[in-house]
Amino acid sequence: MKRILFVCLGNICRSPSAEAVFRAKVEDAGLSDAFEIDSAGTLAYHQGKPADARMMEHAARRGYMLTSIARKVLLRDLEQFDLLIAMDDDNYRELRDLAANDAERAKVRRMMDYAPETGVSEVPDPYYGGAAGFERVLDLLETACGNLLKALR
Ligand code: 4NP
């Protein structure tokens, strides 16, 4: 069993989408039993809320249902998950700072490091932008999550 936690700032746009896109790829590969997949945010502000309605709509058009309820990342996530995958460099730094030791720090990765072919190092925050930003998030996540699964199987 591999436990994967996707992490962004609010846990209402990028990381719930990463969770849904990666889950779909895992299901398509028939590997659902081999993975535990979750998401969290470094900010507590949206805790308890479903994903952003705009993000949900863009994702649904591609067949992804965002079911996650926002929660803040916890210290014990660094113990319990095998990989914590940050959407951008701020999320990455925050997770590294939360880590209690080198073993936990080594579990923290950047989402776009799995997709060097995109030439992009972060999944851009779509929250204050328009429709194109949400589509961009999904494009980047489809590439990166596909490569992540290849790297893990
Ligand atoms: P996310 O997007 O980190 O992809 O969930 C954001 C959601 C909310 C805020 C920022 C980014 N916010 O400032 O409330």
**54, 127, 128, best to mutate for ligand 1 pocket (most atoms within 8 Å of CB):** 127
- Give pLDDT, residue 11: 98
Q: How far is the CA of 9 from the centre of ligand 1 (A)?
A: 5
- 42 burial level (CB within 10 Å; 0-12, 13-18, 19+): buried
Q: How far is the CA of 113 from the centre of ligand 1 (A)?
A: 21
- Give pLDDT, residue 1: 96
Q: What percent of the chain has pLDDT above 70?
A: 100
- pLDDT tens digit sequence for 39-73: 999 999 999 999 999 999 999 999 999 999 999 99
Q: How many domains does the chain have?
A: 1
Distance CA 141, CA 114 (A): 10
**Is the CB of 14 inside a 6 Å radius of any atom of ligand 1?**
yes
Tokens for 140? 């980047």
**Is the CB of 16 inside a 6 Å radius of any atom of ligand 1?**
no
**CATH number of the CATH domain containing 43:** 3.40.50.2300
- Give pLDDT, residue 61: 98
- pLDDT tens digit sequence for 113-127: 999 999 999 999 999
Tokens for 121? 């190092």
Residue range of the domain that includes 105: 2-152
Please give the distance of CA 115 from its chain centroid, rounded to a whole number: 14
- Give pLDDT, residue 120: 98
Query: Would you call 60 helix, strand, or coil by DSSP?
Result: helix
Is residue 89 annotated as a catalytic residue, yes or no? no
Query: Would you call 4 helix, strand, or coil by DSSP?
Result: strand
Show contacts of 100-106: CB within 8 Å, 24+ apart. 100/75, 104/78, 104/79
**Is the CB of 127 inside a 6 Å radius of any atom of ligand 1?**
yes
- Give pLDDT, residue 142: 98
